[in-house]
Amino acid sequence: MGEAVKLLTVLDRLAQYRPAGHQAPFERRVNRGATWALVAGGVLLALLAGLVLVHLSLGPLPAAFRWVVLGLGLLAQLVSLVPLCVPLLLAGRLLVCWRRITRDDLIREFRHDRAAVDRLAGFSTAALAEVQPWLEIKVRRLERRVTLFFGSPTAGVSLFLLASSAIEALGGVGVLSALSPAGIAWTRAGALRLAALVAVCLLLGLSLGAMVQRWLATRYAFQAELVGLALQRRSARATT
């Protein structure tokens, strides 16, 4: 029992592989360059704003400074376009070198999961065999709970979008202030409006809860897969 609880604690610290957190050296250099370009654009805009303030407070600038202002403005616009071009550059590289990029990403994901399985290798087979089916049962429970209310896994997202659209149609997020006692108009129209707001908020809360349940189910499924890989490794070592 104690070892199984410790195993669950270790699993809670393990995160799934995310490509954004394991970028290739080229992607890191490009994104770093885009960040510095954005900083440079901000600095140029600050200098431009300073010259404009000088022009407005101390009088017209000399003709030479006017050309400097125009140059700074043009350069700031060009530099600020660099971060916008980075996604296009990376997408073009993916289209050209998709086979190598997907292979490298697969290798990084394999190494990430292998390192996670290495952390589970110290647990006994009994603890691993006890935790894996329980995690799988937990995943099925969460999925059944979502299906019971919404019928399909994607219905929660659809209801969230529907509730957001309904809130916008009723007057935007600011209309939620009508739920406070001071904002309630105790008339027939006000009561109907309040009932509609309560229904929309309930729908919004249910949809958000469904998405959280799906996220938890995905997380527990990942943990169950890691435990399964650890069990396979222990069984492979036992047979050799």
Residue 14 contacts residue 113 (beta carbons within 8 Å): no
User: Domain count of the chain?
Assistant: 2
Query: Residues 6 or more apart from 139 whose CB is under 8 A from it?
Result: 217, 220, 221, 224
The last residue of a domain, from among 120, 145, 161: 120
Residues 94, 103: Cα–Cα separation, whole Å: 12
The amino acid at residue 106 is L
Domain extent, residue 36, equals: 1-120
pLDDT digits (tens, 9 = 90+) for 192-202: 666 666 776 77
Whether residues 32 and 100 share a domain: the answer is yes
The last residue of a domain, from among 51, 85, 120: 120
Looking at residue 223, its pLDDT comes to: 92
Q: Is 127 contained in some domain?
A: no
The arithmetic mean of pLDDT across residues 212-233, rounded, is 89
Q: What are phi and psi of 62, to 5 degrees?
A: -60, 165
Q: Is 96 contained in some domain?
A: yes
Q: Is 20 contained in some domain?
A: yes
Residues 106, 22: Cα–Cα separation, whole Å: 11
Residues 221, 134: Cα–Cα separation, whole Å: 11
Whether residues 175 and 111 share a domain: the answer is no
Looking at residue 136, its pLDDT comes to: 92
Whether residues 108 and 37 share a domain: the answer is yes
pLDDT digits (tens, 9 = 90+) for 55-98: 777 777 676 777 777 777 788 888 888 888 877 877 787 788 88
- Residue 70 has, within 13 A of its CA and on its CB side, a CA count of 7
Q: How far apart are the first and last CA of the chain?
A: 29
Please give the model's pTM, rounded to 2 decimal places: 0.63
Query: How many angstroms from the chain centroid is the CA of residue 201?
Result: 23
Looking at residue 30, its pLDDT comes to: 82
CB atoms under 10 Å from CB of 123, counted, come to 20
Average pLDDT, the chain: 77
Q: Is 15 contained in some domain?
A: yes
Q: Is 141 contained in some domain?
A: yes
